[in-house]
Structure 1
Amino acid sequence: MSTLPATVPRTTVGRDTETTDATRPIRLTGRLNGALPNPKTFYRGDIHPTIAVAEPRLVRGGLVPWQSRSVVAFVELNVANLIRVETLAGLCRLNVSHFTRAFRASFGESPRTYILRKRIELAQILMLQSDESISDIASICGFSDQARLCNLFRRFVGCTPLVWRRTRRDICLTARHLHS
């Protein structure tokens, strides 16, 4: 049985078939066909990403679907931990240089940028779902300190975490008030 999380369906490319749950075979014809979660529905509840999410695409010189799924699953499970490019390359059975080039071709960004983007997305979710301080959220998400989170957050999202959190909370409170 595969160790991939439930959010990443198992698929194959070509004429072979494989099952997604123990009963339903699927057949794909040379493309991902939604093998990775849609970023608009991947998040639980009404939380949607506010930054662009890199999704893999099947391109010449890029990662094959099983490699993309392995990398995405590993990053999702270990986003708050130290993730080395060497580890991701090993998952894909590629050397670091070839993996980095193939990852960039498939995802449109470097592995390091992808990991940082996923950490920022986790921070966004935590900011909306908890009252933890920005410093605690930075620690939970694997950043060295609050300043590192704030600098990267501003680069990826366009504003500071505090401004983003206040804006989103005001929107949520206004929406709840209108529905009451």
Structure 2
Amino acid sequence: MTPLDHLQVFKAMHESPNTRLEHSAQLGDGLAAAQWSNRHDARDYEAPTHHTLSCYIADGTGTFRRDQPANKGAPNKLCIMPAGSASNWVVNGNIRLAHLYISEAQFALGCVRLLDREPRELQLREATFIDAPEQARRFRQLIALNWDEPGERLLTSSLAHEILDHAVLSQVGPRQGLRLKGGLAAHQRRLLVEYVEGHLEQPISLGELAGLCHLSEYHFARMFRTSFGLPPHQYLLARRLARARQLLRLGDLALGEIALQCGFASASHFSNRFRQALGATPGEYRLALRG
């Protein structure tokens, strides 16, 4: 089984006898990419649990959604398939395309970080064959890299984050008819975000965060997950790693110093966590970006 077969859109493509997988890679941070070619086919995607951004690389002028037969694809056209949405596609002729798969957790982090909103309030808007030149350029840069080479895969991951950030800023809107229940108040969520960002270099416990909201650890953990879209420990680790990536990109600090500034107990702990998330060590990440 291919490592990405847990992704429903990837699996649906992979099962077609008319589709050829040209390349695929896990990019870390809940992101994955694949490049496909297909011809004379029909594909159905039934409410996947992940988001998919698709860019047409070549051909595709005979491709359409069954519910939008007059709207045809073309090179550099983008499609956005949100988690939970079903779509049915017909491919007449040939097509080459690239997919970026995005986990719900990584999307949630983007909503909190870029929009200062609860992820459950928002949805990625579905779109079919839109023009987005900056995104198409990023996709073409992405597929030009060698995903099997560790350094270039790290550059691919960086581009994937740029694509996701652009989508969050430009293709996200409020959920209609939503009545929120439970979760943290907006001022509590902002307080927690600011506190975490201001104390990343220090040990931060669940009890400490719960105390800021005057809640028990049990109720706080449940309410945090409701409002942030992921558990407190996962959010904290993601913010530590994001700070580490920033320091690795922008400066010449020793890895041990970066580990301390990001709240990791030691350089080895930092390296292990970084490698688990991104598939490479902090040193390899720094070299890749500078190369």
TM-score w.r.t. length of structure 1: 0.61
Q: 2:191 aligns with which of 53, 70, 77?
A: 70
Map 1:138-153 onto structure 2 (within 5 A): 138-153=259-274
CA distance in 1, matches of 2:221, 2:231: 7
Offset at 1:37?
Answer: 4.7
Asked if 1:131 is matched to 2:252, the reply is yes
**Aligned position for 1:98:** 219
Map 1:1-180 onto structure 2 (within 5 A): 37-38=113-114, 50=161, 59-170=180-291
Report if aligned partners of 2:112, 2:228 keep a CA contact under 8 Å in 1. no
Report if aligned partners of 1:59, 1:105 keep a CA contact under 8 Å in 2. no
CA distance in 2, matches of 1:69, 1:152: 26
**Aligned position for 2:32:** none
CA distance in 1, matches of 2:196, 2:160: 17
Question: Once the two structures are superposed, what CA deviation does each residue of 1:108-153 show, in whole Å capped at 9, x if it has no partner?
Answer: 2211121111111111111111111212211222211111111111
Report if aligned partners of 1:36, 1:69 keep a CA contact under 8 Å in 2. no
Q: Which runs of 5+ in 1 are unaligned?
A: 1-34, 40-46, 171-180
Q: Structure 2: which amino acid aligns with 1:165?
A: R
Offset at 1:88?
Answer: 1.0
CA distance in 1, matches of 2:159, 2:191: 23
What SS does the aligned partner of 1:63 have? coil
**Aligned position for 1:173:** none
Q: Structure 2: which amino acid aligns with 1:38?
A: L
**Aligned position for 1:24:** none
Distance 1:114 1:132, change over 3 A: same
Quick check: which one's helix share is greater?
A: 1
Report if aligned partners of 1:80, 1:142 keep a CA contact under 8 Å in 2. yes
CA distance in 2, matches of 1:84, 1:153: 20
Distance 1:169 1:71, change over 3 A: same
What SS does the aligned partner of 2:284 have? helix
Distance 1:112 1:48, change over 3 A: farther
Offset at 1:76?
Answer: 0.7
Offset at 1:155?
Answer: 2.0
| Matched length | 126
CA distance in 2, matches of 1:124, 1:135: 14
What SS does the aligned partner of 2:272 have? helix
Write out the 4+ residue segments of structure 1 that deviate beyond 3 Å after TM superposition: 47-53
RMSD of the alignment, in Å? 2.9
Offset at 1:85?
Answer: 1.2
CA distance in 2, matches of 1:99, 1:134: 33
Quick check: which one's strand share is greater?
A: 2
CA distance in 2, matches of 1:125, 1:132: 11
CA distance in 1, matches of 2:235, 2:287: 26
Report if aligned partners of 2:200, 2:261 keep a CA contact under 8 Å in 1. no
Offset at 1:163?
Answer: 1.6
TM-score w.r.t. length of structure 2: 0.39
CA distance in 1, matches of 2:229, 2:272: 22
Identity rate, percent = 35
Q: Structure 1: which amino acid aligns with 2:230?
A: E
Select the structure of larger CA radius of gyration: 2
